[in-house]
Amino acid sequence: MAAGLDKPRHSCPLCGGNVFAWIGIPRSVSEASVGLPSPVDPDEPAADARLVDRCERCGLGIERSNENLDLIAELDRVEIDGPDGGRTFAAPNRASWQGSIGGDGWAALAEWPGRLLLTPRSFALLADKNGLEPQKPAFPPAGPNQRWMWQSILNGITLHHNFLTEVRAGRLRVANSRGPVQFAADMVASCLATPFVLLVSFPLEAIASLAGRGGRMIMRASGASGESLSDFDDQRRELAGSVEVR
Ligand SMILES: [Zn+2]
């Protein structure tokens, strides 16, 4: 899947492990590339694809960019609640069963925020770099992770990734698809297969969540004891800052 595995591109900004080329994902928001075949070779990328590397130690996925990586912004993007005594974060789990099943067709890849694709370990390291004390993540059995699991399995039989989601969002139409025949084939396959896929995907994701391999992680974190929130912010600025990872 990923060419260039023998040569690390750089070291991981969170754990210092070696980071290798992983996958290229056509940008689902771009009409011109919705129907691109995937995977895109990360060493010979198409013009409009998100290129992602991964750390062999903590499992972190890192999207390439010309900008420096901002670890404060990356954590802020996945915050869902706070700062009422503690802060709560939620992110897709790259180390999940659905992530393994989906590969480059993992549905969460189309909607993950920011440049970092987190695993439980890298999630904790990111919070730690921001001066927070993370708790063990929880993996809720229900939520968007159910839709990601269903769509990831469906992606295995359709020619377009996230076909129904893209059609419903109005981003994929016959005109910008891989062709009218392929569009029709995916419509028929998606409609016929959906009930059967749901029979498998729903319990599978529920079991994955119980096993600690759910598709969505929720992590609470608190600041180091005895410090005020303004102290945290100063500390975060010092600890995180911008890291030169491209
Ligand atoms: Zn790492």
Q: Is residue 19 part of a domain?
A: no
pTM for this model (two decimals)? 0.80
Distance (angstroms) between ligand 1 centre and the Cα of 120 equals 11
* Residue bearing the bigger pLDDT, 221 or 224: 221
Q: Which domain holds residue 223?
A: 69-240
Q: Is residue 189 part of a domain?
A: yes
Q: Find all residues with CB under 8 Å of 124, minimum gap 6, and list them.
A: 134, 137, 219
Q: Is residue 21 part of a domain?
A: no
**Number of domains present in the structure of the chain:** 1
Q: What is the pLDDT of residues 89-138, one digit of tens each?
A: 999 999 999 999 988 889 998 888 789 999 999 999 999 999 999 999 99
The CA-CA-CA angle for residues 106, 121, 53, to 5°, reads 50
Distance (angstroms) between ligand 1 centre and the Cα of 13 equals 7
Q: Is residue 107 part of a domain?
A: yes
Q: Is 214 left (phi over 0), alpha (psi -120 to 50) or beta?
A: beta
Distance (angstroms) between ligand 1 centre and the Cα of 154 equals 30
Given a cut of 70, whether residue 41 has pLDDT beyond it is no
Distance (angstroms) between ligand 1 centre and the Cα of 10 equals 11
Nearest Cα to 170, choosing from 56, 62, 34, 36?
Answer: 34
Q: Is residue 122 part of a domain?
A: yes
Q: Is residue 129 part of a domain?
A: yes
Distance (angstroms) between ligand 1 centre and the Cα of 49 equals 23
Token couple for 142? 């229900």
What confidence score (pLDDT) does residue 31 get?
Answer: 44
Q: Is residue 246 part of a domain?
A: no
Nearest Cα to 134, choosing from 82, 197, 67, 171?
Answer: 82
Given a cut of 60, whether residue 42 has pLDDT beyond it is no
Q: Is residue 40 part of a domain?
A: no
